[in-house]
Homo-oligomer: A and B are copies of this chain.
Amino acid sequence: MLKRYGRQTVLFNSPVGIMATASVVGPKEGQGPLAAYFDQIEADPMFGTESWEKAESKFAETAAEMAAKKADTAIGDFEYIIAGDLLNQSTGSIFGLRNTNAPYLGIFGACSAMGEGMSLGGMLIDGGFAQKVICLASSHFCSAEKQFRFPLEFGSQRPPTSSWTVTGSAAVALGGTTGGPSVMGCTTGKMVDMGVTDANNMGAAMAGAAADTIVAHLTDTGRSTDYYDKIITGDLGYIGQELLLALVKKKGYDITHKHIDCGIEIFDKNTQDTLAGGSGCACSGVTFAGYFYDKMKRGELNKILFVPTGALMSPTSVQQGESIPGIAHAVVIENA
């Protein structure tokens, strides 16, 4: 029987339990409002390595090992590891996970990686292809600035629309029926191109995709916004949030009082100089794995729609005048 609802949504036959999550972040995240929720705050942004790229891989490796340990499973016993990051050729994930000895599925959805990974992981388990899957995402402020914008040493001024890439990695171990927070289904996003060409305004580039996926999810399932305690986007930030709420309203839904954005929650913009908010694959990753997962385990939240968002571009595509399509993948997570 096809588990499909409408154009973009699947709902699983059985809840796919979340066995454990792990969140490992850098020093700036550890000074932010969610510090108490992270598993490990690493004081050294180089994480004892000799480059930012190697540091990002160390964050990924640490998060994967921690999630496996919490799930009481050797990392090589997971049937799939699904991982993605922002670095060219996904080297953050690859060099962090090359020693796991587990079947590996690399993904690329820019900062929507945790949404794409949890969607695929849930489907592989619900489809009978696996019992235990690790989904992982990582990003690093310094490796991202170097690759996408300017070398840090250049001391470029950041425009107010720019976001701050989260340093860290999150891993979510899916499997079993734990009775707690579980993945119930997903709505896979289409690429939505709003014509934004400013690589320093990712919130605007992604807002259309987030709105499209959220509205598709509600339409596909016939659910009202009341179904969810919170609708949580990945890294739209302050500018993207405003656009999202307006775009969703135009389609007939009001999510003003349901919406939270991980990029807004993770930093204190007044004291941390993070401008439009946090971003990066780790932004939605660690905010879910640390903060929201905890709130669900305590029963403070019971039904969330988790919608990591990604801006699809490279420095080359921007230099060649391409606009920046967005994508957003929604994951239904409920206390089962």
Contacts and interface: CB of A to CB of B under 8 A. Distances in A.
Interface stretch (A19-27, A102-110, A241-249, A251-259): A102-110
Interface string A118-133: 0010011011111100
A190 interface: yes
Interface of A: 1-4, 7-8, 10, 50-51, 53-54, 79-80, 84, 86-91, 94-95, 97-110, 116, 120, 123-124, 126-131, 188-191, 193, 312-317, 320, 322, 325, 327
A84 B107 CA distance: 9
A335 to B, nearest CB: 23
Contact of A316 (B88, B131, B190): B88
A145 to B, nearest CB: 14
Given A91-B313, A94-B325, A99-B193, 7 more contacts: A2-B128, A53-B317, A95-B325, A97-B191, A98-B325, A105-B116, A127-B128
B110 A109 contact: no
Given A87-B314, A108-B90, A127 B130 contact: no
Contact of A105 (B90, B98, B107, B130): B107
A87 B88 CA distance: 8
Contacts of A1: 128
Nearest to A54: B320
A121 to B, nearest CB: 11
Given A88-B89, A320-B53, A322-B95, A3 B128 contact: yes
A104 B3 CA distance: 18
Given A124-B123, A127-B124, A104 B317 contact: no
Contacts of A123: 123-124, 127, 129
Contacts of A107: 105-108
11 contacts: A1-B128, A2-B130, A3-B127, A4-B129, A7-B79, A89-B108, A89-B313, A89-B317, A102-B190, A103-B189, A106-B327
